[in-house]
């Protein structure tokens, strides 16, 4: 009996084994095809209900199964799962094409779409209909048969290439380790980092200490290790992932991906891949994104150059370094920051015990949005590290199920993300509530210490929890418009705005207590955290803009003449460059956001969303950070509405006006 093909509410992780996936996905594709056939073969005149709405409710079983599979491929993968992913990805892109290139289905949707002004549709229904029609048109429904065939071929290739790209990055990440056996090589490193490295060495059957390219190991090493040569070794290893002369090199894959994306855009009648992507975003065009980025660059660059010069002088003064390199940046910045603000990240860590930070995030969600979180052990999970919660509102009504997976392990990709195992929708008059998950990579508890977070990790947890709230508070009719199903440059608003509470005294007072003494985080530290928040903001802004502009360079022009990725990248970075170039390193071959994740022609959205979040949070500051009225407006107009209306419409309804960059520039100290 295949557990994936039996009815289930929460994902039946403990019953699933790898051989269940392929037959379950094959069967679920068949079921979904049947549901589509029923719509197409319906002899009644196409209506919103029997066509548009019916289509939105198809493929439910398939979506549930594939969400389990692909979430595990990121959080708990194995060679077997990766092999299955390579096999099923073409099936899924083929199935997607079966729908979007189904002429009879498109005709029905087109009929409803052309009739839309005569139908009495709600704003949400209008959005669904428009999104569906465009979904078909943007995926080739208006193409001739020959071009449709070409499109299918491109899509199948792209889905395999992006999977291979991610596998190569993961393999290269796992392949590197820095194994140290002399105590003196650890000079400068915090005890917690040394302890974690020793624990890892023991797990790997080695003496001494092992450091890896996983963030909880890599970031502290580059920030604190006194040994410059070892920092260099780590930084170069991280920068040459999938850019080495071996089987895991991503250079050709990157070129193939950008060329196929460009061909796809041309086939669909767009000038470039960026023009195709941005048509459905808040920003609308590449020209607008580039102008937005260059405007911020103009304001940030003088500050960035000044900050870099100061840092270089400081490194010369205390370290005798003639040329500041990438492996020196975090190290000297941390020392300078400590000197200016007298704020040591390591002193802060004991106040940020993981369990306390989680409880703090829950309390803030309760104060703002009336949510209660109850830890439960009855929900099946895919790894013992995963925590599970029932989420209810103040009336005791069920809101969501919440999974949280916090620690790194083999088979889990780096970084942090939010995802879902079941979407929210209203079907047959029943409001089906969502199952939401966040996945992070925070230092594991050791034999003597609990998991203690850096302040950066605290903001990461709040960031992902902001996405989770967007998913949990979803309250729309159609799952394709629910929760985080919003335009890409709007999706980061709920996550980035929540980070602001990490800097507020009233919020920190709820969770920042010393794990041993229970003492509250001293107020002078709170002040210093706030003051230091804009430290090197010019350089940080420049860095983010450089990634966004690199993404735009790859996707807003014809890439057919590009032969050297490294040369292309150097040209793209020319205007944002601060550090000397490292010949053996390359950003693009490891740039998973744009070549594996969904951020192609969309990386700018982090900065775009920062403008939104700073402007939105200013409203909270004006009225009080726990002001119920503002929080309710945010919940009702942003968090619960998903993608039911245009983002700017929803934003203006919450804020009363369009966002301006002034609040961001003020917060960053760049005005």
Tens of pLDDT, residues 450-464: 999 999 999 999 999
- Asked if the model's pLDDT at residue 388 lies above 90, the reply is yes
Euclidean distance between CA atoms 147 and 258, whole angstroms = 19
**The two three-digit tokens of residue 280, written as one number:** 């459905």
| pLDDT, mean of residues 408-416 | 90
> 524: number of CA atoms within 13 Å, CB side?
5
Structure tokens, 48 = 């919103």
- Sequence-distant (6+) residues with CB within 8 A of 269 are none
Fold of 350-533: 1.10.1370
CATH topology of domain 161-171+246-326+534-671: 1.10.1370
pLDDT at res. 500: 95
41 is catalytic: no
479-530 pLDDT, tens digit per residue, is: 999 999 999 889 999 999 999 999 999 999 999 999 999 999 998 888 888 8
Give the mean model confidence (pLDDT) for residues 210-217. Answer: 94
Environment class of 68 (CB within 10 Å of its CB; exposed 0-12, middle 13-18, buried 19+) = buried
Top CATH class of 3-142 equals mainly alpha
pLDDT of 35 higher than 90 = yes
Q: How far apart are CA 351 and CA 514, in angstroms?
A: 4
Mean pLDDT of 586-605: 94
86 to 63, 132, 161, 270: CA distances (angstroms): 18, 28, 9, 29
Mean pLDDT for the stretch of residues 169-181 = 96
Mean pLDDT of 429-442: 97
pLDDT reported for residue 476: 97
* pLDDT tens-digit readout, 624-655: 999 999 999 999 999 999 999 999 999 999 99
Rg (C-alpha) for the chain, rounded Å, is: 25
Predicted TM-score (pTM) of the model is 0.82
By DSSP bridging, strand 398-405 and strand 435-439 are: parallel
Q: What is the DSSP string of 348-389?
A: HGGG-BHHHHHHHHHHHHHHHH-EEEEE-S-S--SSTT-EEE
Residue 41, CA distances (Å) to 50, 97, 280, 545 in order: 11, 19, 31, 50
How does the average pLDDT of the chain come out, rounded? 95
Per the CB < 8 A criterion, the answer to whether 557 and 298 are in contact is no
Helix, strand, coil distribution of the chain in percent, nearest 5: 60, 5, 35
Same fold, 3-142 and 350-533: no
Residue with tokens 């003051």: 531
Q: Residue 570 — very low, low, confident or very high, per pLDDT cuts 50/70/90?
A: very high
Choose the weakest-confidence range: 47-51, 338-342, 509-513, 540-544.
338-342
Residue 414 has pLDDT above 90, yes or no: no
Predicted pLDDT at 660: 85
* 8 A C-beta contact, residue 196 and residue 157: no
Structural tokens at position 601: 């022609």
Position 82 pLDDT exceeds 90: yes
Return the domain boundaries, the chain. 3-142, 161-171+246-326+534-671, 176-239, 350-533
pLDDT in tens, 259-314: 999 999 999 999 999 999 999 999 999 999 999 999 999 999 999 999 999 999 99
Check pLDDT > 90 for residue 532. Answer: no
**Which listed residue (312, 464, 504, 537) is catalytic?**
464
Specify the DSSP class assigned to residue 663. H
């Amino acid at each position: 009996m295949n557990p994936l093909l039996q009815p289930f509410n929460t994902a039946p992780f403990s019953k699933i084994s790898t051989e269940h996936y392929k037959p379950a996905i094959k069967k679920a594709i068949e079921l979904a095809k049947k549901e589509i056939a029923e719509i197409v073969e319906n002899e009644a005149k196409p209506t919103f209900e029997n066509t548009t709405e019916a289509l939105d409710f198809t493929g439910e079983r398939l979506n549930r199964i594939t969400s389990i599979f692909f979430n595990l491929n990121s959080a708990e993968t194995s060679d077997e799962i990766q092999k299955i992913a390579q096999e099923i990805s073409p099936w899924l892109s083929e199935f997607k094409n079966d729908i979007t290139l189904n002429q009879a289905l498109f005709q029905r949707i087109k009929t409803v779409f052309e009739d839309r002004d005569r139908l009495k549709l709600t704003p949400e229904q209008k959005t669904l209909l428009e999104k569906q029609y465009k979904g078909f048109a943007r995926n080739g429904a208006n193409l001739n048969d020959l071009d449709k065939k070409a499109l299918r071929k491109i899509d199948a290739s792209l889905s395999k290439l992006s999977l291979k790209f991610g596998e190569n990055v993961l393999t290269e990440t796992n392949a590197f380790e820095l194994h140290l056996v002399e105590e003196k090589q650890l000079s400068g490193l915090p005890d917690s980092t040394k302890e974690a490295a020793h624990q890892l060495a023991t797990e790997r059957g080695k003496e001494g200490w092992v450091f890896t390219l996983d963030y909880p190991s890599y970031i502290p090493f580059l920030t604190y290790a006194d040994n410059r040569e070892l920092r260099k070794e780590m930084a170069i290893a991280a920068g040459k992932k999938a850019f080495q002369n071996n089987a895991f090199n991503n250079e050709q894959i990157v070129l193939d991906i950008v060329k196929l994306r460009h061909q796809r855009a041309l086939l669909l009648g767009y000038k470039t891949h960026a023009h195709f992507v941005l048509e459905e975003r808040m920003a609308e065009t590449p020209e607008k994104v580039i102008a937005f980025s260059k405007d911020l660059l103009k304001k940030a660059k003088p500050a960035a150059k000044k900050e870099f010069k100061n840092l270089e002088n400081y490194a010369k003064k205390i370290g005798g370094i003639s040329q500041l390199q990438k492996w020196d940046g975090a190290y000297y910045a941390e020392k300078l920051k400590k000197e200016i603000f007298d704020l040591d990240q390591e002193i802060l860590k004991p106040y940020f015990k993981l369990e306390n930070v989680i409880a703090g995030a829950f309390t803030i969600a309760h104060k703002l949005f009336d949510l209660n979180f109850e830890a439960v052990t009855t929900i099946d999970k895919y790894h013992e590290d995963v925590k599970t919660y029932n989420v209810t509102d103040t009336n005791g009504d069920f809101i969501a199920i919440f999974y949280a997976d916090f620690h790194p392990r083999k088979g889990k990709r780096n970084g942090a993300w939010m995802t879902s195992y079941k979407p929210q929708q209203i079907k047959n008059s029943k409001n089906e509530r969502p199952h939401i998950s966040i996945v992070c990579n925070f230092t594991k508890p050791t034999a003597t210490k609990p998991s203690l977070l850096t302040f950066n990790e605290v903001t990461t947890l709040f960031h992902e929890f902001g996405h989770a709230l967007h998913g949990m508070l979803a309250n729309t009719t159609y799952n394709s418009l629910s929760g985080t199903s919003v335009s890409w440059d709007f999706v980061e608003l709920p996550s980035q705005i929540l980070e602001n509470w990490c800097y507020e005294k009233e919020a920190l007072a709820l969770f920042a207590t010393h794990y041993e003494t229970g003492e509250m985080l001293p107020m002078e530290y709170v002040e210093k955290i706030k003051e230091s928040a804009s430290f090197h903001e010019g350089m940080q802004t420049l860095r983010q803009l450089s990634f966004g502009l690199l993404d735009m360079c790859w996707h807003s022009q014809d890439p057919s003449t590009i032969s050297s990725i490294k040369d292309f990248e150097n040209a793209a970075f020319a205007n944002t460059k601060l550090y000397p170039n490292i010949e053996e390193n390359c950003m693009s071959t490891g740039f998973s956001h744009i070549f594996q994740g969904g951020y192609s022609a969309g990386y700018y959205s982090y900065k775009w969303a920062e403008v939104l979040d700073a402007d939105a949070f200013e409203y909270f500051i004006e009225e009080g950070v726990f002001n119920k009225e503002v929080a309710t407006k945010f919940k009702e107009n942003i968090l619960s509405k998903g993608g039911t209306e245009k983002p700017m419409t929803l934003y203006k309804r919450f804020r009363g006006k369009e966002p301006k960059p002034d609040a961001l520039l003020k917060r960053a100290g760049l005005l």
